[in-house]
Structure 1
Amino acid sequence: MRFICIELSAIEVIIQDRNMQSTEFGPGKALCEIVSSKYEIVEPTYVAKLLFIPHKDGLYCVGPRPNNNKAFIIDLISCNPFASTIQNNLIILQKVLRTAIKIWDSLSLSASEHAITGTKMVVFPFNIGSASKLRATIERIREDVKDHIDHLLLYRCATDEGGGASEQPLLGTFNLAYTGLNEAIEISGSKVRGGSTEAKEIVGVVELLESPPTNIPMSIPFTAWEYFLTETQKKFVYSLVGGPSRLAGPAGTGKTLCLLLRCIYNLQQALEAHKECHVIFITHSVATKKAITDKIKVLDPELFIEKDKNYSPQSLLVTTLQEWCASKVSQGIQDLEFLDKDALESKELQMLYINEAYSQTKIKSFESYKPLLSSEFVSFLESEEEWVICEMLQHEIAVVIKGRAGENFEEYKSIPHLKYNLPLKTDSDKGFVFNIYNEYQKRLTSIGQFDTDDITLTTLAQLDTPIWRRRRATEGYDLVFLDETHLFNINELSVVHYLTKNPSLPPPIAYSIDKAQAVGDRGLQGNCIDRGLIPDSFDGHIEYETMRSVFRSSPQIVNLAFAVTSAAANLFTNFENPLEVVDFTFTVDEEKKARVPVYYEFQNDNEITEGAVQIAELMAAELGTRKSNIAIVAFSHQLLKDITAFARIKNKPLEVLKQRGDLETVNRAASSGRFIVTEPDYVGGLEFEGVVLVGVDKGRVPPSSGLKTSDSKHFLRYLFHNHLYVAITRAKYQVSMICSAERGISEALAPAITNKLIEKGTFSK
């Protein structure tokens, strides 16, 4: 094959149809296989709205409104742009075709596009910071300016600059392709669907709209979702859960949605087959439970969520793990005995009481213990900030002392300490920590309350008994779905496999995970999450599915997030970078709204506070969107207080988000025209058109004041890389960052600045 010729209307389909943006969609994969010569075209063939017409020397691609005045011709004799992986080939094709539209429409060029002469253009298909230095050279050939005949020729694709501005392409292949264009367009007229002659169609397409949709309406019912799913998503969604199934992927790939759709699909299949199927869908917090419930009511045509397990053959229960555990504790726990009904809020109160217990223990017994403690542990306690120590104590008490040691000191002494937690070297070190634990338990006892781990571990003990083993067949569930697995600790994960009906069968548990979104349990390494969820007796196959297509964020934002996660990859042994292989799904219309992330420097925190609101206002205006589609994320609690105080004084509309996944606050902001302001802990699970990150500067992200030991520095570096990743990936089109000029921008963002993934912005009031 000597050439590929793509006329204007076909180019418009390719760059605007979301199903052509990724090889995870059938049309995108078919398109790439055709241009890469992996699928031979021997007769006119349809892919969605495109008609591919073979020629003895090449291939024509014609769209729904053929245009013989503008075409993009690829000379396959002088270059081979499609010699890489199938996804890279699609990236190359998309980038050069988008550049073609910019040339024809006289639009502004991006940093990866350079005009060499009046007719010559060089395009770098891959990111500036990537390893690939591939460049594609395009020549503009105007045969007849008066008749608007204006074609483009891709004649060079290499890693060097070749002949540069003086290089002249050979036009033999171009002339050959150009000569046959009119004939191809005539052939396309006789092959229109519904005409006397049907062309072959290798990808079945449901054409919902005349123009391909760019934004997916989240209110569509279950039956309409198939059109919007990638092939990977379809494989996961439209399959029965017959054993453990793990769904992984970075933020914005639709993990929760796919989990919900698979849940509904399995219930519908059971209904059609007249089989009993009772499903439990577990969320981490009350806010996310409500959000999931609202989504299911839209997706679920049979309203399985409203059916009673005792009176219907199919039912769906959406609950938090803490709620379910509390309902099964035989002693019965009243509402007032919870630290908080919400597991997330409960863990925050737990931190408060641990902080009090630590302070009291240090006052009462540290001096007497000090001669017995290791020098490393003494240095740690004397030099670190209190809240850092308490962060580590929380994990030690919940997972190690309560979970693994059963609150027994002798057992606790025998457990090896975690590499990246408290630097415990001796039994005396552990004895001092156990005193802190005892002081913490006294506080719980005095107020007559139980923390999340008390409830979870009590439930776990009662599930591993003859009574539950007998009741399990009737009170258990046929299928278990667990969302955001990365937010649960090992105590909580260990409960899940007891929820299934039949322990002798492979556990039918489907769960989603993005390890980069949470520090989670610092003791989890490798496949510990799988082992926590799945009983030791199971030695069968676990279904692994990884989502690659990112729907939420622009390529510029994903590249920034990748730089952040890559910088954190060597921090923890349990880190998995989900952005190493992703597909972008943005259409050309969506890319027009996208910008390279920028950062602004202000002199002090007072200016930062005022600037945060002003930049959010500018972002909303530029995107032409409502204020509620912009989130302001403060990277310290003090900055959050300062921003809200400034907003009150200046009468600026803000809504403070205080819970993860709290859609009620988001909806209230939308109805009242207010910005969302929050901290990175609470922004997970949400989506905005733009995000303003406030206080991403040295010494604050991560905090450095008072940190002396490598353990705490290591932990905080990981924690704040995680916070950055979560906050950045909430944005669809734009991310702005604000830092103090005195401090400078956070070192966590240094690789992104070096690779020009962030630009420095200028701001005038």
Structure 2
Amino acid sequence: MAAGESAGAEARRQFALALAHDRAAADARAAAGRFEIAEITERRTARNLASLSGVGHFLLADRRWPGTKHAQIDLVVVGPGGVFIVDTKAWAEVSIDGGRVHRGEADVTDELLALADLTAVTQAELAEVGLAPGEVRPFVVLAGRRGIDATVQGVRIVGEREVLNCITAYGRRLTDTQVDAVLARALVLFPQTTAPAPVVATVPEPVVPAAPVPGPMVRVGRASAPPEVMEQDALLSPEEVNDALLRGVLVSPIEEWMSFLHPQQAKLVRRTFQGPSRIRGAAGTGKTVVGLHRAAHLARTTGGRVLVTSYVKTLPQVLQAMLARMAPDVVDRVEFVGVNAFASRLLNDRGVDCRPNRKGSGQAFAAAWQRTGVDSILGQGPRDQRYWDEEIQCVLKGRGITRFEQYADLNRTGRRHRLALNGRQAVWALYEAYEAELRARRIHDFADQILLAEAELVREPLRGVYSAVIVDEAQDLSCAMIRMLHSLVGDEPDGFTLIGDGQQSIYPGGYTLAEAGLSVAGRGVVLDINYRNTAQIVSFAQGLVTGDEYADIDGAIGPGDVPASIPRRGPEPVIERGPGWGRINAAMIERIRTVTKEIGTGLGDVAVLCITRQSASDATAVLRRAGIPVVDLEAYSGTPVDAVKVGTIKRAKGLEFKQVLIPDIRQHQTSGQPPADDADHERWDLTRRELYVAMTRARDGLWVGIRGVG
């Protein structure tokens, strides 16, 4: 080794070591600066939200990220407004455009994904105590910024001055007991952070550079100072805090079921199905509630549009009003429309001529009956023309049958009367005569509307418009309706959800899922806890359908589901009997006046449900003469109104009321002996199921008026 060579090598090693230490120090200073900023900004966010503790919220600061040792969450807020996961970012030059977040030129949208993932984990964990998924909300707070409120990847991004207003705007969604249950679970899920990791001062042995070419000495510079702390006027004034809290207090509390479910329900809302699925259960088990929450959940997680539909034309607008209160953040991505209205809109958009005319189609059938049915085997039997009208509408056109061979050996689901070959031939002749009458009048019936829409979707599919379709009261739809709706999403995971209870089918005929070309094998769920009714109401209603067997859409024939548990108890239903309607009407008025004197029950909590439209019209007139305000169920949109709701039982499907009155029951409709004739037996079954539906709309009290003569 040449003289001085070893000394030079050691000198180079020491210079390299010094440079490594300088770099490590610079990195440490930069990290310290970032943590210092984070400390300041996170503390400011916490101070802005501290006032929430005075209105029932709990602020869990510096909590550990579930499943990690050191990753931490700035703040978790648990309170009457739900659960808020808050992450503060000291980001400068932030822009949000087209669903992407940029810091200067850099796209930082993916940095939000971890927070979105944490939200999903939290939703799953808190579902175990019954918290609805939508009540867990992730927030990114931009330190020192104002006037920002956007949602990206399911994460709401707000300015530092807006976060308090945003959280208080949710109002009161959980009761004190529910907050306690959620808080207890959250404390376990988000443990306190441990002590910070120890400082390690050892620098790895550096790589020694080769001997330098002689030249000027290079001086190692110092690291730049930490960035300036964000603007200092971000804290809210006492007046601003008070205004935000007052606005939150003034937000009306929402119904408990909108935010807090049974854990069985909450987990079902988030469950993933690898194809079409079905949710069923007896009346009062929360099927529609789960469907609403599931619609909101799918809208959030898929980012697509969700269609919620039903045969009852007034139900979708009521459900939309409920979702607007329950999940205002996604209501614009959930479309509520009746199945016939959907078909009508599709045909109009496609320029397809379809003019359904209820009165005209009735006249067309009457003409066909006189020309073809009266003198046939159909007109000579005990069944009236209404029965054969139903046969054509529900059995033939409800399935879209176009050839006699399809009808000749069809299993007529839901029809008790056995029909031999000559009877089916007579029905087919009547069907052809009816179709000819419609064409001659240049009109359609409502079954045509569905069949034309289905054909349009075969010709030009509408795939990609909806990420999911949810069908409420699915047992009331026709086979063609189910096929049409299923075609919108096919067998995509979580794409098609059927909700309903076969025992609540109140229309003649029926269908099976196999006929509609879909299967829910392994993807069916039964809800078995009645959350709505009292045990006394359920027992009374069940007495009407005891022993009733029906053909379910899964193809099985058997008795209806019975709740495994009915936690609520209350007074026995009241029965008013009379020889005429005068006495029953007087008792109905007295009942309404009595129940509305009870604390917590207003006129808007009462419904008068009738079997026929004429009875509903008569009841409306009786109540108005007595000075009681009334709203027609057909005009009810779900917005609270201080008036008794009156309408047919069919219009009340899917709804619930604190008090229900049914004033137009006849004695023979409640007797225990069914008619001997199978067709009459079928109609008797349908009427009793309809009364069962009406009775199970009642949450707290039920009153029935029975005329004592047949």
TM-score (norm 2): 0.57
Is 1:690 the equivalent of 2:659? yes
Matched residue, 1:680: 649
The CA deviation string for residues 694-735 of structure 1, in whole angstroms up to 9 with x for no partner, is: 23232355899xx98612221112111211111111111111
Matched residue, 1:364: 371
Task: Show the 5 A alignment for 1:275-674.
Answer: 277-303=304-330, 305-306=331-332, 315-329=333-347, 332-333=350-351, 337-339=354-356, 349=358, 355-366=362-373, 369-370=375-376, 373=377, 377-380=378-381, 383-384=382-383, 386=384, 389-401=385-397, 403-406=399-402, 408-409=403-404, 411-413=406-408, 415=410, 420=415, 423-427=418-422, 429-446=423-440, 448-464=442-458, 468=461, 472=463, 475-500=464-489, 508-520=495-507, 522-524=509-511, 528-529=512-513, 531-532=514-515, 535=518, 541-569=521-549, 577-586=559-568, 591=569, 594-622=570-598, 625-657=601-633, 659=634, 663-664=636-637, 667=639, 670-671=641-642, 674=643
Letter of the structure 1 residue corresponding to residue 684 of structure 2? R
Matched residue, 1:172: none
| Secondary structure, counterpart of 1:545 in structure 2 | strand
Runs (5+) with no aligned partner, structure 1: 1-193, 195-199, 207-215, 272-276, 307-314, 341-348, 744-765
Letter of the structure 1 residue corresponding to residue 340 of structure 2? Q
Q: Distance in 1 between matches of 2:494 and 2:623?
A: 51
1:494–1:692 distance in 2 versus 1, CA, 3 Å = same
1:551–1:205 distance in 2 versus 1, CA, 3 Å = farther
Q: Distance in 2 between matches of 1:724 and 1:203?
A: 48
Q: Distance in 2 between matches of 1:454 and 1:583?
A: 43
Q: Distance in 1 between matches of 2:617 and 2:603?
A: 20
Q: Distance in 1 between matches of 2:453 and 2:322?
A: 29
Shift of 1:233: 0.6
Matched residue, 2:289: 257
- Residues 220 and 298, structure 1, Cα contact 8 Å, conserved in 2: no
| Secondary structure, counterpart of 1:689 in structure 2 | strand
- Residues 354 and 449, structure 2, Cα contact 8 Å, conserved in 1: no
Shift of 1:520: 4.3
Q: Distance in 1 between matches of 2:529 and 2:468?
A: 27
Matched residue, 1:152: none
Q: Distance in 2 between matches of 1:487 and 1:567?
A: 21
Q: Distance in 1 between matches of 2:401 and 2:416?
A: 17
The CA deviation string for residues 84-110 of structure 1, in whole angstroms up to 9 with x for no partner, is: xxxxxxxxxxxxxxxxxxxxxxxxxxx
| Secondary structure, counterpart of 1:563 in structure 2 | helix
Q: Distance in 2 between matches of 1:708 and 1:561?
A: 20
- Residues 635 and 701, structure 1, Cα contact 8 Å, conserved in 2: no
Task: Show the 5 A alignment for 1:63-212.
Answer: none
Q: Distance in 2 between matches of 1:651 and 1:686?
A: 25
Matched residue, 1:65: none
Runs (5+) with no aligned partner, structure 2: 1-179, 191-251
Q: Distance in 2 between matches of 1:201 and 1:237?
A: 19
Q: Distance in 2 between matches of 1:204 and 1:562?
A: 43
| Secondary structure, counterpart of 1:553 in structure 2 | coil
The CA deviation string for residues 566-590 of structure 1, in whole angstroms up to 9 with x for no partner, is: 242379986665542332233xxxx
The CA deviation string for residues 503-553 of structure 1, in whole angstroms up to 9 with x for no partner, is: 6x56732221111222346243xxx23x35654xx6x85322222222221
Deviation beyond 6 Å, 4+ runs, structure 1: 200-206, 570-573
Letter of the structure 1 residue corresponding to residue 335 of structure 2? L
Letter of the structure 2 residue corresponding to residue 730 of structure 1? R
1:575–1:608 distance in 2 versus 1, CA, 3 Å = farther
TM-score (norm 1): 0.53
1:333–1:399 distance in 2 versus 1, CA, 3 Å = farther
1:686–1:203 distance in 2 versus 1, CA, 3 Å = farther
| 1:738 aligned to which of 686, 705, 710 | 705
Shift of 1:299: 3.1
Shift of 1:236: 0.6
1:452–1:201 distance in 2 versus 1, CA, 3 Å = closer
Shift of 1:655: 3.0
Letter of the structure 2 residue corresponding to residue 257 of structure 1? V
Q: Distance in 1 between matches of 2:709 and 2:522?
A: 51
| 2:264 aligned to which of 206, 213, 232 | 232
Matched residue, 1:58: none
CA RMSD of aligned residues (A): 3.9
Matched residue, 2:241: none
- Residues 245 and 544, structure 1, Cα contact 8 Å, conserved in 2: yes
Shift of 1:676: 2.3
Letter of the structure 2 residue corresponding to residue 584 of structure 1? I
- Residues 257 and 289, structure 2, Cα contact 8 Å, conserved in 1: no
Q: Distance in 1 between matches of 2:658 and 2:478?
A: 32
Shift of 1:600: 1.8
Q: Distance in 2 between matches of 1:251 and 1:575?
A: 18
- Residues 394 and 510, structure 2, Cα contact 8 Å, conserved in 1: no
Shift of 1:492: 0.7
Letter of the structure 1 residue corresponding to residue 318 of structure 2? A
Shift of 1:217: 5.2
Q: Distance in 2 between matches of 1:570 and 1:322?
A: 25
| Secondary structure, counterpart of 2:392 in structure 1 | helix
Q: Distance in 1 between matches of 2:452 and 2:425?
A: 24
Q: Distance in 1 between matches of 2:517 and 2:413?
A: 23
- Residues 550 and 583, structure 1, Cα contact 8 Å, conserved in 2: yes
- Residues 518 and 722, structure 1, Cα contact 8 Å, conserved in 2: yes
Q: Distance in 2 between matches of 1:419 and 1:551?
A: 29
Identical counterparts, % of pairs? 18
Q: Distance in 2 between matches of 1:623 and 1:601?
A: 28
Letter of the structure 2 residue corresponding to residue 461 of structure 1? A
Letter of the structure 2 residue corresponding to residue 453 of structure 1? A
Q: Distance in 2 between matches of 1:359 and 1:640?
A: 26
